[in-house]
Amino acid sequence: MNEQKRLLLLASGSPRRRELLALLGLPFEVRVSDADESTPEEWTPERIVTELARRKAEAVAAAADASGAVVIGSDTIVVLDGTVLGKPEDGRQAAEMLRSLSGRTHDVYTGVACIGIPDGRIFSDFSRSRVTMREIRETEIEAYIASGEPMDKAGSYAVQGLGAVFIERIEGDYHAIMGLPLNLLHGMLEQFGIRALA
């Protein structure tokens, strides 16, 4: 088999991850994962994102009928003072998250896992970035929530969307904050003989 022609299966319904993977110019299909995303409270952020990325990839790999494919799973969390901020359940929770992030620096962890079919080879790792936000006015929080953008985002903001107006500084991988660290992913794909710049 020509390794370079292996199909990629993205185990995510995230439009942002789809856009990012498309940047590599490699053929891929989206297969949404139904993996369990619950984790014990004592797990570290690193373990949470690497384990969830792996679970998502394994769930799609188990159901896939595409021999020769490589499945990509990814998971992103926002961590402030050791507390994981997931996706908000409603506007009130989104507002609380944004108030807590206002004027502060927080960490964004993104895990990636790649599984080969049918060989079962798996690679997983994570990226950690730091994001500093300016002070956010209450009227801005209300308007941002009204835009609808925060509602399906970890930490209640989108770095690549309107939420960018709150961000003063980023240390680390911008694409990882969006949801898919392309540099890390490409290094894994090379282990399967797949290169974006072949």
**6: its two tokens:** 């292996």
Residue 77 lies in a domain: yes
Integer Cα distance of 47 and 52 in angstroms: 8
Give the pLDDT band (50/70/90) at residue 1.
Answer: very low
Q: Which of 70, 18, 29 is nearest to 195 (CA)?
A: 70
**Looking at residue 3, what is its pLDDT?**
56
As annotated, the active-site residues are: 75
Domain that residue 87 falls in: 3-191
CA angle (162 as vertex; 161, 168 as ends), nearest 5: 95
Residue 149 lies in a domain: yes
**Looking at residue 69, what is its pLDDT?**
93
Residue 35 lies in a domain: yes
SS3 116: strand
Q: Between the CA of residue 143 and those of 156, 162, 168, 190, what are the distances in Å? A: 13, 11, 19, 43
Residue 196 lies in a domain: no
Residue 69 lies in a domain: yes
**Looking at residue 52, what is its pLDDT?**
97
Residue 197 lies in a domain: no
22-60: pLDDT as tens digits:
999 999 999 999 899 899 999 999 999 999 999 999 999
Q: What is the pTM of this model?
A: 0.93
| CATH number assigned to the domain comprising residue 58 | 3.90.950.10
Integer Cα distance of 92 and 126 in angstroms: 30
Domains: count for the chain: 1
H helix or E strand, kind and range, residue 61: helix 45-63
Residue 44 lies in a domain: yes
